Chains A and B, each alone.
Chain A
Amino acid sequence: MSPRRFKPDRDVTEWTGPVARYDLAKEVTISFVVVLLLVIAFAAIFSSPDDHPVTLKSWATAMPVDFVQTAVTELDGTSPTATYGPPYNETPGAGQKIGPVSLARLAGVHIPINTTEDFVIKPLLTLPNAPALDSQVSRYESAGVAQRTSWDAAYEKAIAAASFPGYLKVPSGRYGPVGVMMTNLLAMARSGALDGALLSSPQLYGTDYTKPLLFIADGSYMSDLAANLHLQGDQWGMMNETGNFPGQAWLWLYTMWYQVPPFNTSSSGDALVWAVMMLLTLVLILVPFIPGLRSIPRWVRIYRLIWRRHYRSVTTEAT
């Protein structure tokens, strides 16, 4: 078998020139110490972002009417979370797609959330010594679908004209027990109890913020805050940090796709951007095997700048 032809972007010749001793451990140690000192210095000079977390309490305190308007959509199952589809619930036609494939639908509902029960009724039932509220909740639960829909619709209409002069002032209407339920849920949220109720978990320290975060995201409070801080997806927000702090500049490519068509207009934008980035990552991994692409460093010749002393001596020897 004849030896294969030498290709400069694939094959290397054995080095026969001079060599120098190199202490890798020493370099790693020096690099570590330098970076550590830089981190300490920058932390002392610039500190780090320390914004207060957004909670149900802060939302219900700042925008009580918006909270209740959102809460009633959780109750009647029309909120973005309630209609999101997998992984939270089964909603026909919901879920982002890559072509004909919906990855979320393939994975199925594995974080089941029923907003009526999980965001409204169960938290209300945790309130102690509230027999009047309990009876109103029972009344709502035992009512037929048509009756509940009628109450929900009446309350949604009334809450659109609500105000908060120190208390929730809602125009009267035929919304049955929904008014009492919403008033109590608002009071619960403003006291901080709703944050705890949605966070409740078997562990001593709950770290699963899925439910409160979804609830908050359904309202306009968090998105307004995000827009002010340039953190929205259409503001290159993935790259940004709060205030004047630098953010995640390395996410420039990921967030750039969200600014251009078809990604910024597609209802499956997240899935499409993810697919493009996975494709590009695959190309990056396979660079050594892709003819042409793997030759770019040889054509650009930056290596000759890095090893210029060597190439200068080679040229001198040749002449």
Chain B
Amino acid sequence: MPALVAALINLSHPGRYVHWGFIQLSVANLVVIALMILVFVLAIALPFPHGKRARR
């Protein structure tokens, strides 16, 4: 039964951290922040889908 409910990727082991001066971030948080920035850039860079236009 535990094998059935186990996660495909196990994150329950000691975390890894990066230190830069007084800044201390977990690698997991860094990945999430990088993904957020990527989504932001994509949201700006990708063109809007073309919809039907109507003139009023």
Listed in ascending order, the chain A residues whose CB lies under 8 Å from chain B are 18-22, 44-47, 49-50, 229-230, 235-236, 239-247, 249, 259-260, 302, 305-306, 309
Among candidates B7, B29, B31, B53, residue contacting A239 with C-beta atoms closer than 8 Å:
B29
**Given contacts A44-B7, A239-B29, is CB(A305)–CB(B52) below 8 Å?**
no
Across the two chains, which residue of chain B brings its CB closest to A236?
B24
Q: Is the CB of A243 within 8 A of B12?
A: yes
How far, in whole Å, are A259 and B55 apart by their CA atoms in the complex?
56
Among candidates A47, A230, A309, residue contacting B26 with C-beta atoms closer than 8 Å:
A230
Residues of B within 8 A of A230 (CB): 15, 17, 24, 26
Residues of B within 8 A of A235 (CB): 24
**Given contacts A21-B52, A21-B54, A259-B22, is CB(A244)–CB(B29) below 8 Å?**
no
Please encode chain B, from 14 to 36, with 1 for each CB lying within 8 Å of some chain A CB and 0 for all others: 11110000111111110111001
How far, in whole Å, are A302 and B7 apart by their CA atoms in the complex?
40
Q: Is the CB of B28 within 8 A of A244?
A: yes
Residues of B within 8 A of A45 (CB): 7-9
Q: Is the CB of B11 within 8 A of A44?
A: no
Q: Is the CB of A244 within 8 A of B6?
A: no
Q: Is the CB of B15 within 8 A of A305?
A: no
**Given contacts A240-B15, A246-B28, A246-B32, is CB(A22)–CB(B51) below 8 Å?**
yes
Q: Is the CB of B8 within 8 A of A44?
A: yes
Extra inter-chain contacts (17) besides given A45-B8, A230-B17, CB under 8 Å: A18-B54, A22-B51, A47-B6, A49-B12, A236-B23, A241-B28, A242-B15, A243-B11, A244-B13, A244-B14, A244-B15, A244-B26, A246-B29, A246-B31, A247-B29, A249-B32, A309-B47
Residues of B within 8 A of A259 (CB): 22-24
Q: Is the CB of B53 within 8 A of A246?
A: no
Q: 30 pairs across A/B with beta carbons < 8 Å?
A: A18-B54, A19-B53, A19-B55, A19-B56, A44-B7, A45-B7, A46-B8, A46-B9, A47-B7, A47-B10, A49-B12, A230-B26, A239-B25, A239-B26, A240-B15, A240-B26, A242-B12, A242-B15, A243-B11, A243-B12, A243-B14, A244-B11, A244-B12, A245-B11, A245-B12, A246-B32, A249-B29, A249-B32, A259-B24, A306-B44
